[in-house]
């Protein structure tokens, strides 16, 4: 590694902290990713300064996670997270106060895996107190210290190990895996939001199959039959998994429904909407190939996943994204706002007053237009409509 680690702003933060007499280093995922030759997403800095002292050193700070010892420093407009050295404390038990410590060693010791316990000085010197670099090179996920104790302190780490095995495509060291299996039942007490965050990353990883394999080995399907039975079959879907797609695939392989899954995993509104749409469109796809109505009613994004999930179990070729878009382009209209008539026109043409019948007829005409049975032209619609209602009388 060279001294060019981190952004100029993050280096400046370290320099100012050290000038003020404190220790400060880069830590965590960013150091790991840099060693792997990947561009780190978020940069974390650990320091011997207390949050109060950090705030004294910098003019612009925000207390984002002060209860965990984290202060956001705004350096040249760039937000940099600075966290005070601390020991293991409250990952799982939010009731206890944070315990700040003076040594970097203690801070690194409370981190989950050796590959996440690396630190780097502003000069680019790696601080590797737990053989993290060796594990990184050998592609191994290993707990820092006694795995049993570490998973007991925070069972979420069991899921984090699975997540890293997928994201990095790493092996889980045998003693670590063994303890994961012993303590897997304690995952039941972990807030689902925390698990969900890890699941999203797991789905997006390099090798989700690997994580599902470990998940089965440690007994997750038995522990969470309603949530994770999917671990048994999901790896057939891994070539195309995507955070949201993972949940869509789960829907297709379990008995649960979208509303249930959304509730259980506390999905966001956007994710919920996607899953609901997927569920509807998938149910239609099971009955017949996608037709004009489906191309009209569902977004490319939804249809794409429907096709992929459906074709995992069926031989024919699935539609590509491009083909889905081409079908959509051929539709006479793209949405209801394109219709060449309104509900008011129906009232005028029929000489009747409004009511539920209007929306029923709008739907009927919309459908007829989408299927190409009527042209999307006011006169054509009027003729068709008058003809139909006269026939109905």
The footprint of ligand ATP (CB under 6 A) covers: 28-29, 41-42, 44, 91, 111-112, 116, 154, 156-157, 160, 201
Residue nearest ligand ATP, CB atom distance: 29
Q: Going by DSSP bridges, is the β-strand pair 78-84/44-47 parallel, antiparallel, or unpaired?
A: parallel
Q: Which is nearer to Mg ion, 85 or 341 (CB)?
A: 85
Distance CA 231, CA 61 (A): 43
111 binds, among ligand ATP, Mg ion, none (CB under 5 to 8 A by kind): ligand ATP
Q: Smallest distance, Å, CB 245 to Mg ion? A: 23
Query: Quick check: 79 binds Mg ion (CB under 5 A)?
Result: no
CB 73 within 8 A of CB 61: yes
CB 165 within 8 A of CB 201: no
201 binds, among ligand ATP, Mg ion, none (CB under 5 to 8 A by kind): ligand ATP
157 binds, among ligand ATP, Mg ion, none (CB under 5 to 8 A by kind): ligand ATP
Which residues, 6+ apart, have CB-to-CB distance to 296 below 8 Å? Answer: 328, 331, 333, 334, 370
Q: Which is nearer to Mg ion, 33 or 388 (CB)?
A: 33
CB 109 within 8 A of CB 117: yes
How many chain residues touch Mg ion (CB under 5 A)? 2
Q: Smallest distance, Å, CB 138 to Mg ion? A: 22
CB 188 within 8 A of CB 223: yes
Distance CA 230, CA 380 (A): 50
Q: Smallest distance, Å, CB 273 to ligand ATP? A: 25
Distance CA 324, CA 255 (A): 28
Distance CA 32, CA 21 (A): 27
DSSP 86: B
Q: Smallest distance, Å, CB 95 to ligand ATP? A: 17
Distance CA 163, CA 203 (A): 8
Closest listed residue to residue 9, CA positions, set 109, 79, 101, 108: 79
Q: Which is nearer to ligand ATP, 112 or 235 (CB)?
A: 112
Q: Which residue has the tokens 């949940």?
A: 247
244 binds, among Mg ion, ligand ATP, none (CB under 5 to 8 A by kind): none
Q: Which is nearer to ligand ATP, 34 or 230 (CB)?
A: 34
Q: How many residues does the chain have?
A: 393
Residue nearest Mg ion, CB atom distance: 29
Q: Which is nearer to ligand ATP, 156 or 309 (CB)?
A: 156
At 10 the three-state DSSP class reads helix
Q: Which is nearer to ligand ATP, 144 or 253 (CB)?
A: 144
95 binds, among Mg ion, ligand ATP, none (CB under 5 to 8 A by kind): none
CA dist 298 → 24, 243, 261, 277, 304 (Å): 51, 19, 20, 7, 10
Q: Which is nearer to ligand ATP, 6 or 28 (CB)?
A: 28
91 binds, among Mg ion, ligand ATP, none (CB under 5 to 8 A by kind): ligand ATP
Binding mask 18-57 for Mg ion (x = CB under 5 A): -----------x------------x---------------
Residues that bind Mg ion (CB under 5 A): 29, 42
């Amino acid at each position: 590694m060279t001294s060019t680690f981190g952004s100029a702003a993050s280096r400046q933060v370290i320099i100012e902290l050290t000038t003020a007499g404190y220790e400060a280093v880069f830590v965590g995922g960013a150091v790991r990713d840099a060693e792997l030759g990947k561009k780190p997403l978020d940069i974390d800095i650990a320091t011997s300064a207390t949050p109060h002292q950090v705030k004294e050193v910098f003019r612009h700070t925000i207390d984002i996670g002060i209860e965990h010892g984290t202060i956001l420093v705004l350096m040249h407009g760039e937000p940099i997270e600075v966290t005070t050295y601390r020991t293991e404390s409250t990952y799982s038990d939010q009731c206890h106060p944070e315990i700040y410590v003076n040594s970097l060693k203690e801070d690194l010791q409370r981190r989950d895996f050796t590959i996440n316990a690396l630190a780097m000085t502003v000069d680019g010197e790696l601080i590797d107190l737990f053989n993290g670099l060796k594990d990184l090179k050998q592609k191994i996920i290993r707990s820092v210290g006694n795995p049993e104790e570490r998973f007991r302190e925070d069972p979420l780490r069991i899921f984090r190990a699975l997540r890293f095995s997928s994201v990095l495509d790493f092996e889980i060291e045998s003693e670590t895996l063994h303890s994961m299996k012993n303590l897997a039942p304690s995952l039941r007490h972990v807030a689902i939001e925390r698990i969900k965050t890890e699941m999203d990353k797991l789905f997006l990883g390099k090798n989700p199959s690997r994580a599902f394999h470990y998940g089965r080995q440690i007994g997750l399907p038995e522990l969470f039959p309603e949530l994770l039975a999917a671990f048994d079959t999901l790896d057939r879907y891994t070539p195309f998994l995507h955070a949201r797609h993972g949940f869509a695939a789960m829907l297709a392989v379990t008995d649960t429904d979208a509303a249930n899954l959304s509730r259980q995993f506390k999905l966001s509104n956007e994710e919920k909407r996607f899953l609901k749409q997927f569920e509807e469109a998938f149910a239609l796809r099971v009955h017949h190939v996608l037709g004009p109505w489906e191309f009209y009613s569902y977004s490319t994004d939804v249809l794409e996943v429907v096709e992929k999930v459906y074709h995992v179990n069926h031989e024919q070729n699935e539609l590509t994204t491009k083909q889905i878009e081409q079908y959509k382009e051929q539709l006479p209209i793209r949405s209801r706002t394109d219709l060449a008539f309104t509900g008011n026109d129906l009232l005028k043409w029929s000489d009747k007053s409004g009511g539920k019948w209007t929306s029923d007829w709008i739907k009927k005409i919309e459908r007829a237009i989408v299927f190409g049975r009527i042209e999307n032209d006011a006169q054509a619609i009027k003729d068709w409509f008058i003809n139909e209602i006269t026939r109905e009388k």
